[in-house]
């Protein structure tokens, strides 16, 4: 099993940190192979950036993502740049307030990560909410490995807030999957008897 992942957005959103957390969770927490390639413009805030993560059960021979199994887009520009690489069996995750226009050929899941982070009092935790959402939807990394890596990666004293952010994203992901299952089974509204 090999998963090729692109996390994209703009500087200041913690995109590179999100990629690092996913790769570290896979390698140290789940005992898999992982690579991280990061790219960002010369601007520290507002410029385009992305993190390319590969997670595999076997050695990885090429660290760049060719065809993403998973695209996490936290900006419209990032989505526009990488969406052409998506295949029918890919998974697209977006911040629904920042990526309003999508036309993906694959499964697409949305979360208002930035708005949720603002409701928790800190817009900068949108990336952690997205990691929780990613973990629930894709299962590319385990919940325990992701949460432990988040705790080790965030500034000291913010662990509890970031755990709350992760869990908010994770729970939203689980409820999104459950809702999708019910719709696929033809159940809407009240539970069918």
What's the pTM?
0.92
Burial of residue 116 (CB within 10 Å: 0-12, 13-18, 19+) is: buried
The 10s digit of each residue's pLDDT in 51-110 is: 999 999 999 999 999 999 999 999 999 999 999 999 999 999 999 999 988 888 999 999
Q: Are 62 and 85 in contact (CB under 8 A)?
A: no
- What are the tokens at 155? 């500034």
Does 14 or 102 have the greater pLDDT score? 14
Structural domains of the chain, with CATH? 2-184 (3.40.920.10)
- Identify the pLDDT of residue 193: 37
Q: Which residues contact 104 (CB under 8 A, 6 or more apart)?
A: 83, 86, 90, 92
Q: Indicate if the pLDDT at residue 136 is higher than 50.
A: yes
- Identify the pLDDT of residue 97: 94
- What are the tokens at 141? 């990394």
- Identify the pLDDT of residue 117: 96
Query: Of 110, 51, 54, 113, nearest to 82 (Cα)?
Result: 51
Neighbours of 87 (CB within 10 A): 11
- What are the tokens at 71? 């695209």
DSSP class of residue 122? -
The DSSP bridge partners found for residue 174 are: none
- Name the E strands within 76-124: 91-95, 107-111
The counts of H helices and E strands in the chain are: 6, 6
């Amino acid at each position: 099993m090999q998963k090729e992942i692109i996390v994209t957005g703009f500087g200041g959103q913690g995109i590179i940190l999100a990629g690092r957390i996913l790769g570290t969770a896979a390698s140290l927490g789940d005992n898999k192979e992982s690579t991280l390639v990061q790219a960002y413009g010369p601007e520290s805030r507002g410029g385009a950036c992305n993190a390319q993560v590969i997670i595999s059960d076997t050695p990885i021979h090429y660290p760049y993502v060719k065809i993403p199994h998973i695209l996490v887009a936290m900006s419209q520009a990032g989505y526009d740049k990488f969406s052409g690489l998506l295949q029918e069996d890919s998974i697209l995750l977006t911040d629904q307030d920042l990526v309003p226009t999508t036309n993906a050929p694959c499964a697409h899941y949305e979360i208002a990560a930035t708005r949720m982070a603002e409701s928790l009092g800190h817009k900068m935790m949108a990336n952690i909410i997205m990691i929780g959402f990613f973990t629930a939807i894709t299962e590319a990394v385990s919940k325990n490995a992701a949460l432990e890596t988040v705790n080790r990666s965030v500034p000291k004293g913010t662990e509890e807030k970031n755990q709350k952010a992760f869990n908010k994203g994770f729970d939203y992901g689980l409820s999104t999957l459950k809702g999708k299952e019910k719709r696929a089974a033809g159940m809407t509204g009240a539970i069918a008897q």
